[in-house]
Chain A
Amino acid sequence: DTGVSQDPRHKITKRGQNVTFRCDPISEHNRLYWYRQTLGQGPEFLTYFQNEAQLEKSRLLSDRFSAERPKGSFSTLEIQRTEQGDSAMYLCASSLDRVIVYEQYFGPGTRLTVT
């Protein structure tokens, strides 16, 4: 039984470059979430997928950000033209669509540093 995995774990990039992160959820989980966590803060919601459909997007997700989950399994988060303010931990979580409890299981995160 494997948990949520994310790749890469660390990414250093120069301002203006594009980066892409991957998330592999727990296999039977149909819901997938992306969060961003800056230093000393709690995670903030970015976007959510149910199967392959992207159903919610936060206002934090500017037009430089795009997320996909093409076959309802793994997901990618791309940031174009990175800025220093994009430096953060990007967390992916997944959950199972149950009636009452929606606990989310998180991956180890991708730490992005924009220089």
Chain B
Amino acid sequence: EVQLVETGGGLVQPGRSLKLSCVASGFTFNNYWMSWTRQAPGKGLEWVASITNSGGSTYYPDSVKGRFTISRDNAQNTLYLQMNSLRSEDTATYYCTREGLWVSSFDYWGQGVMVTVSS
């Protein structure tokens, strides 16, 4: 059974940093591209970052480029999201998502972790 379990969320002040982790199980982690997607309270979905299966390439929208860094440790089956210079608009539930092997839709989602940016 595929499982994605996120940790590391919480309350953080504007301008500070936070690092999210996602432990994957139930599939061969190093075969799959992985992503982070977020959802502000009561709002829609926003893609945040993607990383290739090897970790050699990463992709971001302009809203987080230069502030967020996605990375992975294939030996530990773990995906990370380092978030720096956090802003109030980064407040959201962050989901770890797996991209399909042959198609880039998100075929599995974690339960999500809440990040609140507030003073």
A binds B: no
Please report A residues at the B interface, Cβ cutoff 8 Å: none
Please report B residues at the A interface, Cβ cutoff 8 Å: none
